[in-house]
Structure 1
Amino acid sequence: MHLYLLVPTDSRTPHSLEVNGRHWSLQSVNPDSSPFNSSFPVSDRTIPALQTFIRHRPSCEHIWIDAFCVPLAEPKRAQTLESMGYIYARAKEVLVVLSEAARPALERMQGGGGIGIEELAVLEREEWVERAWTYQEAVNSNVLVLTCEGEGSAIIRAAQFFECMSTALQECKGSVSEKLCTYPRLNAFEDIMLDFWMAGYEERAALNVMSNMDRRVQARKEDHFYAMIGAISSERASALGKVEPCEAFIRVCEEKGDFSFIYSAARREEVPGRRWRPVIGDLPSILPWHGKGTGQPGRLCEEGLWLDSMLVVQPAPPQEEARIFVEEWLTLVWKDESHGHQDLEEAAYATLQIMGFTGSQRWVSGAKGYFFPFEPVRSLVSYDRGDGKGLLYTPGVYIGAVKEKEGVSVLVG
């Protein structure tokens, strides 16, 4: 991989750029000649962002900015894009530059004040938060700060930004579903920050990455998987051979021993022993909602996949413990809001829909909870394959009481 950084130069050169009274050029960490010239297309916000950064960090001697530092020529470009997670994880600080419209909100946050509906509406229009690359820029960074374009712009730590924004979202009127519809980008930013605090680089579960990336946009389909790989590993997709980016992501997860990628709404392979494995293509999460956990432990074998710490639940009438658990879960999600006059199971399914679940409404009850499969099945988490060699896997969402000591290993094929 060739890595380019912006560095200050003593004087103007044919391939330099003057920003805030200083001259900058691209320098390669390798002995190649610098490609910093007019062949680099950039957006109209690139220079203002660079000006803002230099104004806030005038003593910085090495700067990475995607629009300038990603090479144009292949294969260097692809290799660099595959390594973005590693690059941001090694940065001393990541500075997010929002548009100048965000200035009033940031200034109020910096002054210790709260923000209201008007500021939330402005922040919701910021496109940065929904980009595919945004996720790994934020969650892989050691230090994350935010500012905006323009002279004298405020600059604040991401934690303060998150606290002010979350408080404003909680205080504004409306139901949970209404807020999700009104502020999808800000809710996505909340999930980014939760991942930032709860897991370090290469430590987060594949399912968390999938769920977060489901709500992001990218120019190229492969960028979606490059960003996901960059959030869980320093390995490049191309290092795994000539495979589809989706397959590369799955292989990285398998090598790490994290099989939480199976909790996807994707179709499954039909080959015996691999019927648990998603078909290569898209890899949407079964529930695009933030979660926590270290991943799904498992191990591959000739017969299929052994999944550890699994809860095997048999169909049964729900006990009072199940109903109490679901009621408490609904209260936790909705807080002081009512979930209507629906039956408990209907209210649970409606809540899952708000959270992004698109699976079947035909739930299956167990003694301690309810299972909502993505596609209708006749039993809970799994069912017999029919040949005595394992179980077929079907994804879904289980809402119910779980005790760690109840976890067992099961073979799915």
Structure 2
Amino acid sequence: MRRAAFSLLAAVLLSAGPALAEAAAPVPCGGPLPAFLKAFEARAVAQGHDAAAVRAFFRGARIDPKVLAADGAQGVFRKTFLQFSSALISRSRVVGGERNARRYAAIFARAKRDYGVPKGILLAFWAFETDFGAVQGNFNTRDALLTLAHDCRRPQVFQPQLMAAITLYEKGEFNPQTTTGAWAGEIGQVQMLPRDILERGVDGDGDGKVTLKTSVPDALLSAAHTLQMLGWRANQPWMVEVRVPKDLDWARTGLNTRLPARQWAAMGVRARQGQLPGGDLPASILLPQGRKGPAFMVFPNFDVLFHWNKSFVYVTTVAYFADLMEGAPRLDPGHPDPQLDLAQMKALQRKLQARGYDVGKVDGILGRKTRTAVQKEQKRLNLPADAWPTLGLLKRL
């Protein structure tokens, strides 16, 4: 599970678009590595990097086949929300979160004051990415970035990151020989890519450098700054567990429908504990495993988390763990219908594709696109449109 955690932040960055892409076309990918390095070094010098520094940066560089293997191993996302959250939210992480909340109370207070991000959210990312800094990955970062920059699937994403690593090297904040991290090139306790470190990193401990591997203040404040730049809204909720009436219009649930929180309340939606927050804030009713499983009301800050990671189950688990760290009780799991197995999920996606839906890759993962298609077909077939695929739906299709 820890190894999988390294790939989680990468999932969003691998599919990120303009935010990480250079305006210029990437260096031609693939082919012999020496030719690629020669072209990339020339591009780096043309962009203002010192030629000697560039040569030193790439001395001993190599393609790492384990990076490419890790890139294709994303089966963890096929778990249901309850399976996934149970795996990530261990007793040790809860205890560690509570302990670190006390230990670094002043840093969390600063993150909330300066960036509007509460401690629960930061603790969740810190826990899931690296177990509070204990497991940061053992891939050579330069070689991981080089491997993915050379690979022809996403050169426009990773070549700018490799170029940013050269900048960090020139600043004295990156050692190409010894810096290690996740397979996709993320560095440090909250797993940030080099360009994000340059643009969003914070020197939290005042030593003049942004050191995400060893400095907790740098890591936490950099994460908070990143979330603020991604659109986090200070003093607003992100998610609350709710009770939903049995006669709710299930077709209005899901992330594609937003209504003021008070309008949901008028329909009978209630907070499981305390009062519903939000008032006039736009909110959605989220049923990760259908109407028989847990239910949440989510707000605009929940959407911000998808900029950090595209995985539905990961984002929902982050939001839930953050709630726990802020004092919420353990959720009510309910009694959801069984999950389709991998073969059945792929069959479902193919049937949805045949009906004209965009479900992305047929991979057996119940992501946002597949959920949207499932809900539309449930509604068409006069089934409870809660976006949770069942064997009955598969048979009807």
- Same fold per superposition (TM over 0.5): no
Which structure shows the bigger proportion of residues in helix conformation? 2
Q: TM range, normalised to the smaller chain?
A: under 0.3
Structure of higher RCO (CA pairs closer than 8 Å, 6+ residues apart)? 2
TM-score of the pair, normalised by structure 2:
0.25
Question: Which structure has the bigger radius of gyration?
Answer: 1
Which structure shows the bigger proportion of residues in strand conformation? 1
